[in-house]
Structure 1
Amino acid sequence: MSESRVSNPETRTRRPSYLLQAWLVIFLSALYAVILVSIQINLSEKIEANKKKKTFAQIPTLVDGADPSKTRELKIEGKDGKPATVLQVFDANGQHIGWVFPGKGQGFGDVIALLVGLDRNAETLTGISVLEQKETPGLGNFIEDEPFRSQFVGKSTSVPLAAVTGEPVRPQDIRALTGATISSKAVCDIVNQSVQLYRAPALDAGK
Structure 2
Amino acid sequence: MKNAVRMVLVLTLTGLISSLSLGLIYRQVEPRVMDQQAKATREAVLAVIPGAEKFTEKKVVTKTTYYEVFGNDGKLLGYGLPGSGVGYGGVILVMVGVTIDLKKATGLKVLESVETPGLGGKITKKEFQDKFANLILEPGVALVKGKKSKENEVEAITGATISSRAIVKIVNDTIAKFKPIILPSPHPLPAAGEDSR
For the criterion TM > 0.5, the same-fold answer is: yes
Indicate conservation of the 8 Å contact 2:144/2:153, yes or no: yes
Indicate conservation of the 8 Å contact 1:123/1:157, yes or no: yes
Counterpart-to-counterpart distance in 2, 1:171 and 1:90: 26
Give 1:122's aligned residue. Answer: 102
2:145 aligned to which of 158, 161, 165: 165
Deviation sequence 1:61-118 (CA, Å, 0-9, x none): 21111113xx1100025xxxx4211000011111111100001000001111100001
Residue 156 of structure 1: CA displacement?
1.9
Indicate conservation of the 8 Å contact 1:60/1:66, yes or no: yes
Give 1:6's aligned residue. Answer: none
Give 1:132's aligned residue. Answer: 112
Q: What aligned pairs does 1:81-96 form with structure 2 within 5 A after superposition?
A: 82-96=62-76
TM-score, with length taken from structure 2: 0.76
Indicate conservation of the 8 Å contact 2:96/2:105, yes or no: yes
Indicate conservation of the 8 Å contact 1:140/1:183, yes or no: yes
Give 1:26's aligned residue. Answer: none
Indicate conservation of the 8 Å contact 1:76/1:202, yes or no: no
Counterpart-to-counterpart distance in 1, 2:30 and 2:179: 28
Residue 41 of structure 1: CA displacement?
5.9
* Structure 1: gaps spanning 5 or more residues: 1-28
Alpha carbons of 1:89 and 1:203: their partners in 2 closer, same or farther (altered >3 Å)? farther
Whether 2:48 is the aligned partner of 1:51: answer no
Indicate conservation of the 8 Å contact 1:86/1:202, yes or no: no
Alpha carbons of 1:47 and 1:162: their partners in 2 closer, same or farther (altered >3 Å)? same
Residue 51 of structure 1: CA displacement?
1.1
TM-score, with length taken from structure 1: 0.72
How many residue pairs get aligned? The number is: 166
Whether 2:171 is the aligned partner of 1:191: answer yes
* Structure 2: gaps spanning 5 or more residues: 1-15, 185-197
Indicate conservation of the 8 Å contact 1:125/1:156, yes or no: yes
Deviation sequence 1:98-145 (CA, Å, 0-9, x none): 100001000001111100001122221000000001111111111111
Aligned letter for 1:62?
Answer: V
Alignment identity in percent?
Answer: 31
Which protein is bigger by CA-based radius of gyration? 1
Residue 39 of structure 1: CA displacement?
6.6
Counterpart-to-counterpart distance in 1, 2:36 and 2:26: 15
Residue 162 of structure 1: CA displacement?
1.6
Aligned letter for 1:61?
Answer: A
SS in 1 for 2:168: helix
Residue 42 of structure 1: CA displacement?
6.1
Aligned letter for 1:76?
Answer: V
Whether 2:57 is the aligned partner of 1:73: answer yes
Counterpart-to-counterpart distance in 2, 1:111 and 1:201: 24
> Greater RCO between the two (CA within 8 Å, min separation 6)?
1
